[in-house]
Structures are given as C-alpha cells and as structure tokens.
Amino acid sequence: MPPRQTQIAGTNAERTKAHNRRVVLGYVQLSDGAGRAEIARSSGLSTQTVSNLIAELEHDRLVVPAGRRRSARGQPPVLYTFNPAGAAALGFEVRPDALLSVLTDLAGTVLWQAQTPLPASDPETVFALMADLAGQARAQCEVPVLGAGLVLPGPFGVEGLSAAGATVLTGWQGFDDAAAQAAEALKLPVIVEKDATAAAIGEAMLGAAQGLDTFCYLYFGAGLGLGVIAQGQPMRGAFGNAGEIGHVIVVPDGLPCDCGNTGCLEQYTSRMALRRHLAARGLLSPDTPPGGGQTDAVAARLLAVEDAALDAWLNEAARLLAPVIGTLENLFDPEAVVLGGALPDRLLDDLIARLDLPRGSVARRRDRARPRVLRGASGRMTGALGGAALVIHDTVTPRLDPAP
C-alpha cells in the first residue's frame, strides 16, 4: 500500500532540497521497500532528484538497499528501506524539579536515559546540565545524533499564566530564546516544543495514536496540557501557547489557581490536584514535589486497595473532565482523544472508565473504529520521548509549507 504521505508533493527548486529529502525519506520510512522510479512517480520529483537524494541518504545510512523487486521486464529496481539504527535523537523534558533525558534510535528505541533532579530550573542551570548529559549520551552511541528536542511546560510570554505556580518554569523568556541557547550549549540543532504537543507527536509516531491523522492528546504533567494534531500537523497557535487546557474554567467560583482564575480544570484533574487531595487527607507528605514519582507510587497503592479518598478524587476528576472532552470533540472533530503522561497506567485506565462522555458530540458516529477516549503511553519519560520524536518527525516529515 502506498504510504499516506504521497499527497504532499515535492519540488525541484534548490532551496527546498531539505523538504525534498524529507519527502523521499518519509516515503521510504512508510513503505516496506521503495524503488527510485516509484518514489519519483509518487512525489512528483524527477528521477534524477530522487536518485541524488537516495545516494545522500544512503551515505548518511538513513536508507539501506534491500534487494530488488521482481518485475515483468527489464532490470528489476533496487528497493530501499528506512534504517532506524542509522542515527539517533536526543529528547529532554524540563520539569520544575527534574530534567528527564533520553537518547533513541529513529524507531524510538531507547538507547540511554537519565532522570536528574534539578537544584534550580533557571535556563543557565538547565542548559549546563543538558550539555553534560548530552556528552554522556553521545559517548554511548556510535551513530550521529541528528538533534535534540527540548520539551518545556510553557506557556511563555503571557501575563499571569507564566508568572508563578508549581507547574511552570521561571526565568525562561520564550521558545525562540530557549532553542537558540540550547543549540549553543549542545552544539546540535534543537527543536523546542510544549510538553503536550511533543508527547502527542511521540504518541503518533510510537504509541496509541499511530495511524491517527487528527487527534487530541491530554497530557498529565504536573498540570494538564493539550496537544492537538490536525491532519498530521501540530496546532501551535500564534505564539506557540495553544493547548493551555488546564486553565479552562470548569467550576465557576471554584478553587483559586496560580493563573489568577478560579475553578481551573487543572485544580481538579491533574497530578498536582491529586497530590494536594492526598496530602490534605494525610496520605502523602505536603512536601512531595509536583513532578516526583512519589505521588504516582502512593496513588497506585491506594488504587489497588480501593481507597475511598482516591475514589472520591477520581470521581470528581472524571466528572469535570468528561464535558471538556466533549468540547474537544465538537471543536476539533478528532478521531480520538488520548490521555497520557506522568500518571500510572492503571490510574489513567480507571479515570477513563469513569468518564460519562456527553451524548451530544460529533464523536458519536456509528462507524467509529476506535473508542472515543484512548489511554496513551504514560510514565515519567513520555515527554522526553516526545522530544526525541520531534527530531525524528522533523527528519522524515515534509512540512506543508516548506520554508525557503
């Protein structure tokens, strides 16, 4: 079957060579072996252009020849396949209290990983540590590292929202600044992305959202974020801050939030809210860090014994989340809404099972192939893996609007 990407045509203009390279590599990656003439036909590129790019990609070990296809007449074409072991990608997720790092091959297989407590989360401290960790990672691996994905909670450059609170970083000016400084520290190309969007891209490449073109991803970090992938491309908004769903008001005059609102969703449905709920009932120390694994471990244990306090929290979290999921469905018409991130699998499964989803939703289709809500990959490394996935995505996916 021809890969899905063929509708994105290439161009022969010299300035879009990088774009054409992505078209060719993306085609090969999604095929089970493709010849040069086939790639040229599907992409609209000349056979010569495809041959040049294949030679370059073969030199970079990103594609490898894989025998010849039997053909009725003439010399059978050489087939090329994607070589995921030919290069590696780094992913870093910065949390307020920890730096999570992974090195993967181009299939997302983890080659190395580290979880490092952060003494401070200002950019200077984080970049110095990242440079050190990148050196350790690169020492483990014999293939080139194509780049790094830097995953941040955001938002940035917004009055109030980025000023304070347990779920945001302080001292960070914006995505562009962070990308330039990280590239300087790592001596590598760096892509910066919000945690929820990075995790959504990771989920589409390697997880529960494989094969989905349009989906919403609710990311449980310390707070709650949203990544929207529409027709295979992330929706970032005008300033890269799209998806701050944690600050949607679900309880008028409800609990105060650091953003200045009252009754924000993440005050009820997030890991931070869970930690506070358990701490208020003496089940967890109030000093437990928001990004720590301690909340997860305690919650998993309470779930196993059907603890009443956890049960009450899950009911409330599900009650407030369900209409928000209905809203996402009606706004974006996704193939599914995926829940993932830094909560234990069993807790997310339990939360999903409690969702009483609205009946009035465009998602209620007779021909649905999947449930409306899916559980994605979860665990502490989800965001960092999403960071590495950004680099892989950027390597193999042509942009709809190729930059000059």
Pick between residue 63 and residue 265 the one whose CB is nearest to Zn ion. 265
Pick between residue 21 and residue 247 the one whose CB is nearest to Zn ion. 247
SS3 293: coil
Q: Which residues pair with 102 in a beta bridge?
A: 91, 113
Pick between residue 115 and residue 261 the one whose CB is nearest to Zn ion. 261
Least separation in angstroms between CB 240 and Zn ion: 18
Pick between residue 98 and residue 259 the one whose CB is nearest to Zn ion. 259
Least separation in angstroms between CB 103 and Zn ion: 35
> What's the Cα-to-Cα distance from 1 to each of 4, 27, 31, 321, rounded to whole Å?
9, 11, 8, 39
Least separation in angstroms between CB 247 and Zn ion: 4
Q: Per the structure block, which two tokens stand in for 399? A: 């942009």
Pick between residue 100 and residue 226 the one whose CB is nearest to Zn ion. 226
For residue 336, the 8-state DSSP code is: E
Please choose, from the candidates 20, 45, 42, the residue with its C-alpha nearest in 3D space to the C-alpha of residue 31.
42
Least separation in angstroms between CB 267 and Zn ion: 7
Q: Per the structure block, which two tokens stand in for 190? A: 């760096």
Contact 79, 66 (CB under 8 A): yes
Least separation in angstroms between CB 390 and Zn ion: 26
Residues of this chain that interact with Zn ion (CB under 5 A) are: 247, 257, 259, 261, 264
Pick between residue 161 and residue 299 the one whose CB is nearest to Zn ion. 161
Give φ, ψ of 92 to 5 degrees.
Answer: -125, 130
Least separation in angstroms between CB 243 and Zn ion: 14
Q: Give the whole-angstrom CA distance, residue 282 versus residue 186.
A: 43
Least separation in angstroms between CB 257 and Zn ion: 3
Pick between residue 247 and residue 372 the one whose CB is nearest to Zn ion. 247
Amino acid of residue 142: E
Q: Give the whole-angstrom CA distance, residue 32 versus residue 39.
A: 12
Beta strand extents in 118-153 (DSSP E only): 145-152
Pick between residue 89 and residue 324 the one whose CB is nearest to Zn ion. 324
SS3 392: helix
Q: Give the whole-angstrom CA distance, residue 229 versus residue 120.
A: 32
Q: Give the whole-angstrom CA distance, residue 223 versus residue 264.
A: 11
Chain CA centroid to CA 340, Å? 10
> What's the Cα-to-Cα distance from 307 to each of 17, 32, 106, 225, 329, rounded to whole Å?
58, 49, 42, 27, 32
Least separation in angstroms between CB 264 and Zn ion: 3
Please choose, from the candidates 339, 399, 400, 380, the residue with its C-alpha nearest in 3D space to the C-alpha of residue 207.
339
Give φ, ψ of 16 to 5 degrees.
Answer: -110, 30
Least separation in angstroms between CB 203 and Zn ion: 25
Q: Give the chain's radius of gyration (CA, Å).
A: 22
Pick between residue 29 and residue 267 the one whose CB is nearest to Zn ion. 267
